[in-house]
Amino acid sequence: MKTVILLLTTFLVIALSTRLLRRRRSAVKQLRGPLQIHGSWHQDQVGDLEYSWYREYGGAYRTAGCYGQDILVIADPEALRYIMQVAGYRYPKTADFDFNVNILWGLGIVTATGNVFLASYCLHSKTVLRLCSPAAQEIFSNIQRDIIAQFSRKLTNLVEGGQSTLNMNLWLGKLSLDIIGESAFGYQYGGIDNDDNELTRTLNNLFHDAGVLLSRAAVLISTLPRVLPGPLLHLLGLIPSRLKQRYTDFNVLMKEIGHQVLKQNFEGGVASSTGKDILSILAHANADEEQKKRLSDDEVLAQVISLTLAGYETTSSTLSWLLYELFRAEDELSSADYDGMPFMNAVIKETLRFHPIIPTIMRVAGSDDVIPLLELVTMSTGAKLTGIPVKKGQLIQLGIGYYNRHPTVWGPTANVWNPDRFLGELDKTTPVGVYANVLSFSGGVHSCIGWRFVVMEMQAAVFELVESFEFSPPKEDLQIKRQPAFIMLPMVRDEVSKGTQMPLHLAPIKREI
């Protein structure tokens, strides 16, 4: 261990010296911004610091990162559109993101690069095209409706059995898990009916256990891959950390389950599978490719893990926030609002806008470039920029959360949860996001490839839940905070140690026959 620390320290001294020389020549160095070395890692709620900095410095500012790095933070709509849609592949994910997420699920489409990324992305694109057919949509819709009806019956039984207050984030995760299992893999995870489901428990507190209240040392360790060369990255595996342990535990559990999924689907080979689920279609598409373009078994397994985690977290947290906002706005809503499909779709869009599960995304400039701006940015010298010159290797943080509340895009009421904004005409002069112009599914070449299915699932779940139950807080002074933990998690204030929570009181609605 001492040798490892000595090697890392020696390299860091060299790396820091080199970066300090680069900073003197960087235009980003001349931008205004806060000087906190740990950025917004230790803020109370997501947005407390960044949103105030955007208001003070504009749509692009500089913040001090670890190891002497200047991070360019951007929420300017045109800059985001350029990075995500126009430049795309020239702004890849950062090394620390790839390193840490590879521990989570291996070389899936989220972390793949080069030929592996192209093969994975092409296969997913072909798969998605097949899944967008009317016949496929009907199959998935039926699967979702059946599981959501089962979920509704389970909640009713729990309430009638005396459990009227439930952690809806946990239960919505169970719902999401079962829908993913059936529709994506033709596999039954058993989240709804198994009260002691190990995977559900692991997923519900995965990011809480790994990322809440990280020490400064843990932040430094997690960002080390930004400055370490590839050959030295394996040394990080020798340094114990809470994040690495939780991610590894999840990966081991999911690989065990993933092998069961693959065995069930393809025990007699790909040709033996006649399933209509995502994995079966992807596997058939993979088999149709020439040998050098095919994904390996480990890469296919990584798709199982990544689809499970991505679908679980997005749906459970977003629906939790949606129910939370609905009961907060109860006095302003009528029964006609709940009955109207356009309004409930607007509720989904507004919740995705207001509560993005991934509030920031890191990118790195793959080459020297100039990033255009919609609005002028004032530098520390007083000069105003219409574009920001960046050097190859420049770290860039994309402000998803603030873009989703940017007054230029969403108007003067951007900081208010108001579904009505999606019932009128919105300014679409700078389209960035793939759905409703929000960036909660990212945008451009790295956008969430399964966003349509997530939205379809949310629509079906919301209509069933609001027709079947009245939701209210279990206590009048319930305070839910937007807890930063790599992603944004709903947690009860003063109960962060209890993990991810959205406790709600449920009262079944008696339907007229």
Range 184-211 average pLDDT: 87
In a domain, 128, yes or no: yes
Instruction: Count the domains in the chain.
Output: 1
pLDDT at 68: 82
Look at residue 20 and tell me whether its pLDDT is greater than 60.
no
Query: Is residue 23 included in any domain, yes or no?
Result: no
CA distances 288 to 113, 123, 281, 282, 423, Å, are: 22, 10, 11, 10, 44
3-state secondary structure (DSSP) of residue 384: strand
Max Cα-Cα span within the chain: 75
**What residue numbers bound the domain in which 112 lies?**
95-360+399-508
> Tell me, what's the pLDDT at 3?
56
Element (H, E) at 60: strand 60-64
How far apart are alpha carbons 489 and 320 in whole angstroms?
10
What digits encode the pLDDT tens for the residues 215-247?
888 888 888 888 888 778 878 878 888 888 899
Report the CATH number at residue 230: 1.10.630.10
Q: Give the SS3 label for residue 215.
A: coil
In a domain, 426, yes or no: yes
Average pLDDT, the chain: 84
Q: Give the whole-angstrom CA distance, residue 240 versus residue 243.
A: 9
DSSP string, 267-319: TT-GGG----SHHHHHHHHHHHS-GGGSPPHHHHHHHHHHHHHHHHHHHHHHH
Q: Would you call 94 helix, strand, or coil by DSSP?
A: coil
Which residue type, as a one-letter code, is found at position 445?
Answer: V
Contact call for residues 50 and 71 (beta carbons, < 8 A): no
* pLDDT, position 118: 47
pLDDT in tens, 256-313: 988 888 787 776 666 555 566 777 777 776 676 677 666 777 777 887 888 888 888 8
Phi and psi at 57, nearest 5°, equal -105, -15
How many Cβ atoms are within 10 Å of 407's Cβ, its own excluded? 11
pLDDT confidence band for 17 (50 / 70 / 90) = very low
User: Does 37 fall in a domain?
Assistant: no
- Look at residue 469 and tell me if it is in a domain: yes
Judge whether 277 and 186 are in contact, CB under 8 Å.
yes
Residue 316 has pLDDT above 50, yes or no: yes
Let me know if residue 9 belongs to a domain: no
Distance CA 37, CA 24 (A): 18
Whether 46 maps to a domain, the answer reads no
Mean pLDDT within 43-68: 91
* CB-CB contact of 208 with 197 (8 Å): no
**In-domain check, residue 373:** no
